[in-house]
Amino acid sequence: MRVLYFGEDTILSERIEGLVKKQGFLYSVLESYDEIYTSAFDVLILDEHMPCLFNAAFIKKICANGFIHSPVIVITEKENFEIKKLCFELGIRAYLKKTEVDFRRLARYLETFKKERANFEILKKMKIAVLDDSVFSLSLMRNFFSSHEIVQVDYYQDAAEFLKRKNEHKYQLFLIDLVMPEYDGEEIITHLRKKNPEAIILLITAYNNGSAISHCLSIGADDFILKPLEVKLFMARINSCINHYRLNKEILRNEERLFELASKDFLTKAYNRTYFFNIYKQKLAEIYRDKQALSFVLLDIDYFKNINDRYGHLKGDYVLKELVRILKKIIRENDLLCRWGGEEFVILLSNTSLKEAEALAKRMQLSIQQHTFEEIGSCVTASFGITQKKENDANDTIEAIFKRLDNSLYLAKLTGRNRVVCDESLQVDYEGVLRPIDWGAFFKSGYTDIDEEHHELVSKINEMINGLSAGAPKDRMLRLAAELIRKHVRHFRHEEYLLQKLHYKKYSEQKAFHKSFLQRLLRCYKSLQDQETITMADVQYFMEGTLVQHIVKNDFKFFFLLKNKK
């Protein structure tokens, strides 16, 4: 914005120049009022002492069309009421005393003019609809807008034709006549507010009917103006409406920013835990009402610490953001992706069966594995755990769901990583490769003796897996199976003694499980004796029973009793 000063007071000029430049505007001093006609400016500050002020034709020309042409501020030597009245009649925007110029007030004026100019630029970019049955009124509007280079305007003499086109969302500003045949302004406003609640609606009427105008304002019109149109007042009303429009837009943007801060992870822009739980509650109501399946995917980047250590934390952040971008390409719009913490993410899949969720997770796994990350390559992988909300099961709480997800994810990690485990179900082979179990913190109870015994069981399972992979003879595999059963017997005796001593409430249930589980293993062993060879499915049975049925689904229940015990 450029500000011009026309006066002979150099001290005042310097003070005004300092204020103008502080606000980021350009500043110039005119030598004669003839320069006003040849100089481009946005605000003119006149010293009353200059003789041109008393030339009414000159002032009127300068102030011709309100803020479309440049506003004028007068600074006077001494306050003269008659001159003040004349100034305002001619269109002067402000009248300030020179001896005690309120520079804060002047700064507010300049800021206001800047906003008005910005509003006019917004008006030029807006799509505008004018609805008026009067050919004369439409012609006036057309001339007004075209003379000020406002070109994105559609004119409708027939309101019914406008409604028939169903393009209400196309416009940001509506100018509507109150009284029209077939449909009146009230009906149009009611319709528009349902279809386009954020638009500006300005009511134009030749009838100064307070009740009708008040009603239209109450149902959604932003303002009104009477015919015949007075340009400065018309622009002032539009300016006021655009101010409100901008304010509402800013409020919406702030609400969106607050929502994002409250619901999204700052780094990856995936949703956060708080938002996940809110949506989960909504989804519960939906699945009960519509009988829909609700599935969950929990994934974790493999060896993420190594990425941070080798490439730096900024590269680690990049991998997290890139991973979210990959996942968003695969999931549907109504699926929910959340950062659960660190390098762990959870996905809520609406109306998705467990089989569909598993297929989707495998697509994600493959996409991550095949993706080339800048400066890292295609060495990033992720492990996945999947489960589904159990239908009509009140005990299947969110805690139970995440327990299954956690267990499934850890089992994926412990059986080689870069794989998908569904509902705590293990496989000996993964894409034709036999993988031993990695013993780790996941299996540990904190009680040394129990942990050592569990480690022995896992080690024996790994011997069976390695024996199968190496093509060990049947008698060798049978000996390994028998040793595994004997270790279970010794372990169960010790475990039952310990749980009874600790007064475990589910001691009887645990003892009954031990008996049933041993019977199943013995039946399987006898079956193996009658077979020609030991197969992958046989080893799978022993592994699944030992790791999942025994340790994960049963022993994990009492681990809380064993913490910090030796």
Label residues 22-61 b or e (16+ Cβ within 10 Å = b).
Answer: eeebebebbeebeebeeeebbbbbbbbebeebeeeebbee
pLDDT value for 431: 67
- Separation between Cα atoms, residue 245 and residue 242, nearest integer Å: 5
For residue 211, name the pLDDT band (cuts at 50, 70, 90): confident
Contact present, 483 and 460 (Cβ < 8 Å):
yes
Question: CA-CA distances (angstroms) from residue 317 to 266, 288, 304, 359, 565?
Answer: 11, 39, 10, 28, 39
Contact present, 336 and 276 (Cβ < 8 Å):
yes
For residue 564, name the pLDDT band (cuts at 50, 70, 90): low
Tell me the per-residue pLDDT of 483-528, one tens digit each, with 9 for 90 and over.
999 999 999 999 999 999 989 999 999 999 999 999 999 999 999 9
pLDDT value for 60: 64
Question: CA-CA distances (angstroms) from residue 418 to 362, 410, 412?
Answer: 10, 11, 7
496 catalytic? Reply is: no
The CATH homologous superfamily to which domain 2-121 belongs is Response regulator (3.40.50.2300)
Question: CA-CA distances (angstroms) from residue 482 to 16, 525, 541?
Answer: 98, 7, 14
Bridge pairing between strands 43-47 and 128-131: unpaired
For residue 348, name the pLDDT band (cuts at 50, 70, 90): very high
pLDDT value for 451: 92
Output 564 or 200, whichever has higher pLDDT. 200
- How far is Cα of residue 189 from the mean position of the Cα atoms in its chain? 32
Least confident of 183-197, 226-240, 292-306: 226-240
In 304-377, alpha helices (H) = 304-311, 313-330, 354-370
- Separation between Cα atoms, residue 263 and residue 535, nearest integer Å: 50
For residue 14, name the pLDDT band (cuts at 50, 70, 90): confident
Domain ranges of the chain: 2-121, 126-258, 266-425, 444-566
Mean pLDDT, range 225-244, rounded to an integer? 76
- Separation between Cα atoms, residue 463 and residue 459, nearest integer Å: 6
For residue 280, name the pLDDT band (cuts at 50, 70, 90): confident
* pLDDT of residue 37 exceeding 70: no
Least confident of 99-103, 177-181, 317-321, 383-387: 99-103
- Separation between Cα atoms, residue 118 and residue 67, nearest integer Å: 11
Output 34 or 110, whichever has higher pLDDT. 110
Least confident of 11-20, 36-45, 124-133, 520-529: 36-45
Contact present, 204 and 132 (Cβ < 8 Å):
yes
pLDDT value for 369: 94
Give the dihedral of Cα atoms 25, 31, 36, 40; nearest 10 deg. Answer: -40
Least confident of 68-82, 131-145, 161-175, 373-387: 68-82
Please give the angle made by the CA atoms of 230, 236 and 241, to the nearest 5 degrees. Answer: 125
Mean pLDDT, range 298-312, rounded to an integer? 93
Tell me the per-residue pLDDT of 109-119, one tens digit each, with 9 for 90 and over.
788 778 777 77
Least confident of 422-426, 427-431, 451-455: 427-431
pLDDT value for 507: 92
Mean pLDDT, range 338-350, rounded to an integer? 93
Identify residue 219 by its one-letter amino acid code. Answer: I
Question: pLDDT above 90 covers what percent of the chain?
Answer: 33
pLDDT value for 204: 83
* pLDDT of residue 336 exceeding 70: yes
Instruction: Count other Cβ atoms within 10 Å, centred on residue 334.
Output: 10
Contact present, 111 and 94 (Cβ < 8 Å):
no
pLDDT value for 65: 44
- Separation between Cα atoms, residue 86 and residue 60, nearest integer Å: 10
Q: Does domain 126-258 have CATH number 3.40.50.2300?
A: yes
Instruction: Count other Cβ atoms within 10 Å, centred on residue 128.
Output: 21
Output 105 or 458, whichever has higher pLDDT. 458
Any bridge partners for residue 5, and if so which? Answer: 29, 45
Single pTM value for the model:
0.59
Q: Find the catalytic residue in 48, 168, 186, 343.
A: 343
Mean pLDDT, range 462-484, rounded to an integer? 91
Question: pLDDT above 70 covers what percent of the chain?
Answer: 90
CATH number of 444-566: 1.20.120.50
Q: Does domain 266-425 have CATH number 3.40.50.2300?
A: no
Question: Which residues, at least 6 apart from 533, have a Cβ–Cβ distance to it below 8 Å?
Answer: 474
Is the Cα dihedral 186, 184, 187, 168 positive or negative?
Answer: negative
Tell me if domain 126-258 and domain 444-566 are identical in fold.
no
For residue 228, name the pLDDT band (cuts at 50, 70, 90): confident
pLDDT value for 520: 92
pLDDT value for 349: 93
pLDDT value for 58: 65
* pLDDT of residue 38 exceeding 70: no
In 371-503, alpha helices (H) = 398-414, 448-469, 474-501
* pLDDT of residue 66 exceeding 60: no
Task: Estimate the crossing angle of helix 231-263 against helix 103-125, to 10 degrees.
Answer: 90
Contact present, 549 and 518 (Cβ < 8 Å):
no
Mean pLDDT, range 77-102, rounded to an integer? 71
Label residues 195-230 b or e (16+ Cβ within 10 Å = b).
Answer: ebeebbbbbbbeeeeeebbeebeeebbbbbbebeee
* pLDDT of residue 77 exceeding 80: no
Q: Coil, strand or helix: which one is 311?
A: helix
Tell me the per-residue pLDDT of 385-413, one tens digit each, with 9 for 90 and over.
999 998 877 788 999 999 999 999 988 88
In 135-272, alpha helices (H) = 135-147, 159-165, 185-195, 210-219, 231-263
- Separation between Cα atoms, residue 153 and residue 347, nearest integer Å: 46
Output 420 or 283, whichever has higher pLDDT. 420
pLDDT value for 61: 64
